[in-house]
Amino acid sequence: MAFHKVVIQFEILCSDDMEHKILKNASLKDIYTIVMDGSCSGRFLEPSEDKILSGLETAKALMEQGSDPEFFQLDLEGNPLKD
């Protein structure tokens, strides 16, 4: 099984200082609301990174995101979990 890491960039333009401050710690839902219903404009840019990861790299990346390697049925070393 192959695992992919894709980094997505989203460009936001805004003139309101308050929304600019909110964006620094915004969730994806917050960003969607600010762009769709607020005073900001936004667009997706081409992915800046699209990389195939090894099992170990995937396990480490999951832990860096605060997730568990078991999400993809991997152990801490990136090996497939046994049934």
As a whole number of angstroms, the distance between CA 22 and CA 5 comes to: 27
Task: Find the mean pLDDT for residues 10-22.
Answer: 76
Output the pLDDT for position 36.
Answer: 92
As a whole number of angstroms, the distance between CA 79 and CA 81 comes to: 6
pLDDT tens across 20-53, in order?
677 778 888 988 998 999 888 999 998 777 899 9
Give the predicted TM-score (pTM) of the model.
Answer: 0.67
62 occurs within a structural domain: yes
